[in-house]
Structure 1
Amino acid sequence: MDAALSEVTVDSTLVLLRVEEAARRLQIGRTLCYRLISSGELESVPVGRLRRVPADAVYEFAAQLRRAHRPAA
């Protein structure tokens, strides 16, 4: 399989994403993703010593951005 293709392949069955996977879905860097988590803008949950982002939190974050940048009617 082509390496570039495997990088963009998204497993829609995942419920919890690694921070890197969430960042990839948002098309942002890992550092910015951690910053969004730290500020509370992007939801995350601890799983033991790991940090995971619920898949639906990625969609909610994108929806919040859309609402915040919607032109005034």
Structure 2
Amino acid sequence: MDERSNRALVRAEPLAVRIPQAARLLGIGRSTLYQFIASGEIETIKVGRSTLIPTDTLRAFIERRRHS
């Protein structure tokens, strides 16, 4: 892949998403997502007043669940 293609891939996916979008991406409800956050299974970051979940955290969560 050339550099331009790599930049297009980076732009196609956000680095982090808000709670409602993360719940949709995982196919779970917000309450269930908050339970995973409270248990430490899903990492959050605060940016100002926004709570974000890094997309790599979502991928890691799915991988851990897949192999358990």
Structure 1 unaligned spans of 5+ = 1-10, 69-73
Shift of 1:62: 0.2
For residues 39 and 18 of structure 2, the distance between their equivalents in structure 1, rounded to whole angstroms, comes to: 17
Deviations 1:2-52 (A, max 9, x none): xxxxxxxxx942111001111101100011111111111111111122210
Count, aligned residues:
58
Aligned in 2, Cα 1:50/1:64: closer, same or farther, shift over 3 Å?
A: same
Structure 2 unaligned spans of 5+ = 1-10
Q: RMSD value over aligned CA atoms?
A: 1.5
For residues 27 and 13 of structure 2, the distance between their equivalents in structure 1, rounded to whole angstroms, comes to: 19
Structure 1 or 2: larger helix share? 2
Using structure 1 for the length normalisation, give the TM-score.
0.72
Using structure 2 for the length normalisation, give the TM-score.
0.76
Aligned in 2, Cα 1:35/1:12: closer, same or farther, shift over 3 Å?
A: farther
Q: Which residue of 1 aligns with 2:46?
A: 46
Aligned sequence identity (%):
36
Runs of 4+ in 1 over 2 A off after TM superposition: none
